[in-house]
Structure 1
Amino acid sequence: MNELSTGTLLLILLVLIVLSAFFSSSETGLVALNRYRMRHQAKGGHRGAALAQRLLGRPERMFGLILLGNNLVNILAASISTLLFLKLLGDGGIWVSTLVLTAVILIFAEVAPKTLAATHPERIAYPASYILVPLLKVLYPFVWIINVLASAVLRPFGVKRADPRADQLTREELRTLVKEDGRQISLNHRQMLLNILDLEYGTIDDVMVPRQDIVGIDLDEDWETLLHQLTRSIYTRLPVWRGDIDNLIGLLHIRTVMVKLSQGTLTPTELERSIRTPYYIPEGTPLTQQLLEFQSRERRMGMVVDEYGDIQGLVTLDDILEEIVGEYTSEGTGRARQLRKLDDGSWIVSANTTVRMLNRRMEWDLPTSGAKTLNGLILEQLESLPDGHTSIRVGDHILTIVDMADNRVRKVLFKPWRMRRDA
């Protein structure tokens, strides 16, 4: 080695520093890769992504190979540097070699390449994988020995091989990923994805039309009244009963009688023949489960019943879909004016609006653990029937009852607490 010229030693040292930078940047690039983008690219046929995925599938082997290579070239570089500076400076070159090589490796073989790899991991990791994978096959016996010894050292501390399932995302982690890192997706589509994830926490009680607000057909009414109701109805599907909703007969799709209704030839017998058997849904059914039930049963409307079989409300497929995409149907015209903004920034809200919908649409934080509707929330907070224009504070809002009928709150004025305090 002493017979080598100064130029040769300098060339070898430069090559070793480049190799050290390669191993350092490869390690950082592989670790910094977006695992989900890498899997997507690998499935799409990207060779570099597939090789990187193979390396990351056994991280102990990858780290063993990279650290073996990095330490070998760094130690060899130190030896070459020492010889080089001994030739140039004599015995004092040992100290100069230590200082210079430390600075060179730190800057050119560690900080700079690792920063580059962390900033552009795919540009570094994918090409490096073409070299590391075959290199791992060649050096596998040495890597295996290193891993066995490292495992033996870690075993007394209870350190075991990582669970491959640890790389999977929970629902909350996926929600955070979509919300904060999904900027390449349009805002509307991102909100739909978030709504789908939030659907898991909702039940049909959150979206159903309450019993007292159900619009239907009473067959005990005279025929002229029924015809007038059918021709003027804004809904395409209506529950049908006799006398009272508890005597429910079934569900009617207006389309099945539309032709004869328009021709004036519809008869009571044909109307009853068009009524479909009612579909009942237990209260508290999760929205995700009910969405699948509607799909499998080819239904679009169901009656919500409690444990005693009493009808509590009505829910449609549109009600659930609107939890995902927002309001889109004209069929809910009766509920379309649930919110009205006033000039001073306060809101008039229909009391039959669900708390869940208010929180989602207005980004409020009203309590959802108890009552499902705004009317129920007020009664829950007051613990008694309100008398007149009662005001209560709920979170950051002042709620003032502005309209009541039949012991039910109908309209509520929402004001931010700051606005009320400033006033």
Structure 2
Amino acid sequence: MNDTPIGLLFAALAVLILMSGFFSSSETSMMALNRYRLKHLRGQGHRGARRASKLLDRPDRLIGLILIGNNLVNIMASAIATVIAIRLYGDAGIAIATVLLTIVILIFAEITPKTIAALHPERVAFPFSLVLLPLLQLFLPLVAAINSITNGILRLMGFKPDATDSEALSQEELRTIVTESGSMIPRRHQRMLVNILDLEEVTVDDIMVPRNEVFGIDLNDDDATILDQLQHSTHTLVPVWNEDINDIKGVLHLRKLSRVLDGDGLNRDALMVEIQAPYFIPENTPLHTQLLQFQQKKLRLGIVVDEYGDVMGLATLEDILEEIVGEFTSNLIEEQEEVIALKGGGTVCTGTISIRELNRQQEWDLPTDGPKTLSGLALEALETFPCGPVAVQIPGYVIEVVAIDGNLISRLRITPNDEDIRSVRPTAA
């Protein structure tokens, strides 16, 4: 090599540094590939994705090939650089070659190519796989032999080289992917996808209409009252009960209204024939399970009951869909708004408003693992029924009882407040 022209040695050194950069960027780009996007591209028939997937099927062999190639060209580059330095500077050239080659390799064969590969893994990995795949086939015996030795050492140390982590994503990981997708997925669609993931954590009693707000027909009422209710109903499905909602007889679809009317008005016998049998739902049924039940049974409304069979309320298909897409229906007979923002600060709400709905509307973080309504949350914090207006502090919020209707807290004012104030406790009623 001492007789080799120095220009040829510099050319060989430059080629080796380029090859080192190739192996360094190949390793970074292959490891930085998004596995799920890679599967998607492979399913679409992308050739580069197919080649990369084939290489990543055995990452130990891929890494073995890259490290063999990288170390080989780096050692050869070091030898050639030493020869060049000795010929130019004598014995002092060894130290000079070591320092200069280290700097050159760091800049041109490590940091720069790896940074490019990390920023644009697909642009690097897919074309480079054209070279890596034939190289792997060519050096497979050597790579396999070295891998068998390293795997044996790993087993002696208590590791299992063949064990790989599952690529299945947990619910929280999926949530992170959706929320971090940025402009790739519109924010409204992000919220819908996250709401779908939340269906397993929400039960029907979280979204049901409570029994005291259920609109229905009481067979004990006179015909005129029942007809007036049917004519002014804003619901297409109307529960029918006898005196008490716990004695529910069925559900009437208003498209059958003409069948229960005759020349004399309401035909009660026809009404009992046309109502469909009630469908009961256990109170703690998860929403994703109930959505499937509604789909299988071709139903849109169910009566929520507790473990004793008492009616707690009703849940509809629309209620579940609103948990996914947001509110898209309105109560046409509602006389007052459930949520009213005050100019002086705070928000006045009805006591029966769902805490989940309030959190969604106001972007608050009221606790949802206990009571389902705002009045229930206030009673839990107060630990007794109030005699009149009273305020209580919960973490991050101040809740004030504004109006009481009998044994029901009808209106409350809630104000986000991080300051520590002293709770006002009422006397027992």
Query: Into which bin does the TM-score normalised by the smaller protein fall?
Result: over 0.9
Distance in 1 between residues matched to 2:156 and 2:353, nearest whole Å: 59
Distance in 1 between residues matched to 2:200 and 2:258, nearest whole Å: 38
Q: Give the aligned partner of residue 95 of structure 1.
A: 95
SS in structure 2 of the partner of residue 372 of structure 1: coil
SS in structure 1 of the partner of residue 246 of structure 2: strand
Q: Give the aligned partner of residue 247 of structure 1.
A: 247
Matching of residues 255-334 of structure 1 within 5 Å: 255-257=255-257, 267-330=267-330, 334=334
Q: Contact 1:257 / 1:266 at 8 angstroms: preserved in 2?
A: no
SS in structure 1 of the partner of residue 139 of structure 2: helix
Q: Give the aligned partner of residue 161 of structure 2.
A: 161
SS in structure 1 of the partner of residue 284 of structure 2: coil
Q: Give the aligned partner of residue 81 of structure 2.
A: 81
Q: Give the aligned partner of residue 358 of structure 1.
A: 358
Q: Is 1:416 matched up with 2:416?
A: yes
Per the alignment, do residues 18 and 333 of structure 1 end up closer, same or farther by CA in structure 2, a change over 3 Å counting?
farther
Per the alignment, do residues 144 and 263 of structure 1 end up closer, same or farther by CA in structure 2, a change over 3 Å counting?
farther
Distance in 2 between residues matched to 1:202 and 1:388, nearest whole Å: 33
Distance in 1 between residues matched to 2:211 and 2:112, nearest whole Å: 68
SS in structure 1 of the partner of residue 377 of structure 2: helix
Q: Give the aligned partner of residue 346 of structure 2.
A: 346
AA at the equivalent of 1:69: G
Distance in 2 between residues matched to 1:50 and 1:11, nearest whole Å: 35
Query: For 1:359-407, what per-residue CA distance to the aligned partner results, in whole angstroms no more than 9, with x for missing partners?
Result: 2332222222221111211121222111101111111111111121121
SS in structure 2 of the partner of residue 167 of structure 1: coil
SS in structure 2 of the partner of residue 129 of structure 1: helix
Distance in 1 between residues matched to 2:336 and 2:162, nearest whole Å: 52
Q: Contact 2:155 / 2:161 at 8 angstroms: preserved in 1?
A: no
Q: Give the aligned partner of residue 198 of structure 1.
A: 198
How many Å apart are 1:161 and its aligned residue?
Answer: 2.5
Q: Is 1:215 matched up with 2:215?
A: yes
Q: Give the aligned partner of residue 184 of structure 1.
A: 184
Q: Contact 1:216 / 1:241 at 8 angstroms: preserved in 2?
A: yes
How many Å apart are 1:50 and its aligned residue?
Answer: 1.6
Q: Is 1:114 matched up with 2:114?
A: yes
Q: Contact 1:216 / 1:238 at 8 angstroms: preserved in 2?
A: yes
Distance in 2 between residues matched to 1:51 and 1:336, nearest whole Å: 64
Matching of residues 23-38 of structure 1 within 5 Å: 23-38=23-38
Q: TM-score, normalised by structure 1?
A: 0.94
SS in structure 1 of the partner of residue 60 of structure 2: helix
Per the alignment, do residues 303 and 336 of structure 1 end up closer, same or farther by CA in structure 2, a change over 3 Å counting?
farther
Per the alignment, do residues 231 and 13 of structure 1 end up closer, same or farther by CA in structure 2, a change over 3 Å counting?
same
How many Å apart are 1:28 and its aligned residue?
Answer: 0.7
Query: For 1:43-66, what per-residue CA distance to the aligned partner results, in whole angstroms no more than 9, with x for missing partners?
Result: 111111121122222211111111
How many Å apart are 1:419 and its aligned residue?
Answer: 8.6
Query: For 1:81-119, what per-residue CA distance to the aligned partner results, in whole angstroms no more than 9, with x for missing partners?
Result: 112222222332222211111111010000000011111
Distance in 2 between residues matched to 1:272 and 1:3, nearest whole Å: 110
Q: Give the aligned partner of residue 105 of structure 1.
A: 105
SS in structure 2 of the partner of residue 377 of structure 1: helix
Q: Contact 1:182 / 1:190 at 8 angstroms: preserved in 2?
A: no
Specify every segment of 5 or more residues in structure 1 that has no aligned partner in the other structure, as ranges. none
Q: Is 1:2 matched up with 2:2?
A: yes
How many Å apart are 1:152 and its aligned residue?
Answer: 2.1
Distance in 2 between residues matched to 1:204 and 1:353, nearest whole Å: 15
Q: Give the aligned partner of residue 402 of structure 2.
A: 402
Q: Contact 2:259 / 2:270 at 8 angstroms: preserved in 1?
A: no
Specify every segment of 5 or more residues in structure 2 that has no aligned partner in the other structure, as ranges. 422-429
Distance in 1 between residues matched to 2:265 and 2:162, nearest whole Å: 73
AA at the equivalent of 2:99: L
Q: Give the aligned partner of residue 18 of structure 2.
A: 18
Query: For 1:315-363, what per-residue CA distance to the aligned partner results, in whole angstroms no more than 9, with x for missing partners?
Result: 0011111111110023576498321211123111111122222223322
Q: TM-score, normalised by structure 2?
A: 0.93
Q: Which moved more, 1:289-298 or 1:363-372?
A: 363-372
Q: Contact 1:338 / 1:353 at 8 angstroms: preserved in 2?
A: yes
Q: Contact 1:398 / 1:420 at 8 angstroms: preserved in 2?
A: no
Distance in 2 between residues matched to 1:199 and 1:380, nearest whole Å: 26
AA at the equivalent of 1:299: L
Per the alignment, do residues 162 and 337 of structure 1 end up closer, same or farther by CA in structure 2, a change over 3 Å counting?
farther
Q: Which moved more, 1:408-417 or 1:50-59?
A: 50-59
**Residue-pair matches, total:** 421
Q: Give the aligned partner of residue 142 of structure 2.
A: 142
Distance in 2 between residues matched to 1:174 and 1:262, nearest whole Å: 57
- Matched residues, percent identical? 48
Q: Which moved more, 1:214-223 or 1:264-273?
A: 264-273
Q: Which moved more, 1:192-201 or 1:260-269?
A: 260-269
How many Å apart are 1:137 and its aligned residue?
Answer: 1.1
SS in structure 2 of the partner of residue 62 of structure 1: helix
AA at the equivalent of 2:191: Q
Distance in 1 between residues matched to 2:352 and 2:222, nearest whole Å: 30
More helix per residue: 1
